[in-house]
Amino acid sequence: MAYLLRTLILFMIVTITLTALIGAGVVSFSFSHIQLAIASFLFTIFAQAFVMFYFIGVSRLVNNVDLILKSKINLKELFENPPEDITPYLKKVDQFVHESTVSKRQTIPWTMLMLILGMLAFLLGGAYDTGLVSKPIHSGLVYGFMAAMFIGFFRQWYYLGKTHKLLRKLKTLFSISDSSM
């Protein structure tokens, strides 16, 4: 899943960059930058929603495992034959909870900032097209959106890798199949 999400955010970077280059007049294309901006921003919303819910889902899974271990109820969900001493599992899962929480906290704010700045740039692009705002206002928001997008991209790329490894460790620890979440 992390590889799919990395592909989505990489494609998002390419489409938004192409849109900005067409808008700045650096690149010529058969579509106007307005037409490409509509598709690019819709794709950005789609990709960022997937990324955000991936981090939320992994964090929720790890927290559920932690809850099962700490309550010692339904241990059969994690083990065929629950061990008497689950202390080593508790220590590992506490570490996983911390790592998944850090990953979520390091990526979701950038996702939200990207979406908000992108939405404002998109809406003020329409306002610029109708003459309600000046070009520097629209351009400034686009530059801010792109800065947040690039910073968020690298954070998401890094934490997608870390979270993917964390998920593998968790599933290996409890012999959970790769197809289940």
Q: Per-block average pLDDT, block size 10, for the chain (181 residues)?
A: 92 94 87 89 95 94 89 80 82 93 94 94 90 91 94 95 92 78 60
Is residue 16 in a domain?
yes
Is residue 180 in a domain?
no
Is residue 179 in a domain?
no
The terminus-to-terminus CA distance of the chain in angstroms comes to 11
Is residue 27 in a domain?
no
Judging by beta carbons within 10 Å of its beta carbon (0-12, 13-18, 19+), is residue 79 exposed, middle or buried? middle
Question: Is the CB of residue 68 less than 8 Å from the CB of residue 78?
Answer: yes
Helix (H, G, I), strand (E, B) or coil at 72: coil
Distance CA 43, CA 7 (A): 12
Whether the CA torsion 133, 135, 139, 142 is positive or negative: it is: positive
Is residue 181 in a domain?
no
- The whole domain housing 149 covers 2-22+32-173
* Model confidence pLDDT, tens digit, residues 73-87: 887 777 777 788 888
Is residue 10 in a domain?
yes
Is residue 178 in a domain?
no
Q: Please tell me whether the overall predicted TM-score, pTM, comes out greater than 0.85 for this model.
A: yes
Domain count, the chain: 1
Distance CA 161, CA 63 (A): 19
Is residue 103 in a domain?
yes
Amino acid at 14: V
Distance CA 25, CA 10 (A): 23
Report the pLDDT value the prediction gives residue 180, as an integer from 0 to 100: 66
Residue among 29, 30, 13, 21 at smallest CA distance from 118: 13
